Amino acid sequence: MGIEASPGTSDFLKSLESAIKESTVSGLKFEGLHFEFNDQSDHMAYYDQILKKNQQERRPLQGMYPMDVQELFQKEIFIPKLELQYLVPNDQNNLPDEAYMNDLETLIKEFLNKKPLPNGLYAVEIAQYKEDKLVRKGVYYVRMNNHQVVEFLKDLS
How many residues can be counted in the chain? 157
Q: What is the pLDDT of residue 2?
A: 47
Lowest mean pLDDT of 30-34, 78-82, 90-94, 146-150, name the range: 90-94
**pTM, to two decimals:** 0.83
119-124 mean pLDDT:
94
112-135 mean pLDDT:
89
From the centroid of its chain, how far is CA 4?
Answer: 20
Residue-wise pLDDT tens digits, 99-111 = 777 788 888 899 8
Domain chopping of the chain, boundaries: 3-153
E strands, the chain, where? 3-5, 28-37, 65-67, 78-87, 120-130, 133-145, 148-153
Nearest to 6 by CA among 51, 64, 75, 78: 64
Residue-wise pLDDT tens digits, 50-95 = 888 888 887 765 556 677 888 899 999 999 999 999 888 777 777 7
CB 138 within 8 A of CB 126: yes
Q: What is the pLDDT of residue 1?
A: 43
Cα distances (Å, whole numbers) of residue 37 to 3, 17, 19, 123, 147: 12, 18, 22, 11, 23
d(CA 64, CA 106): 39
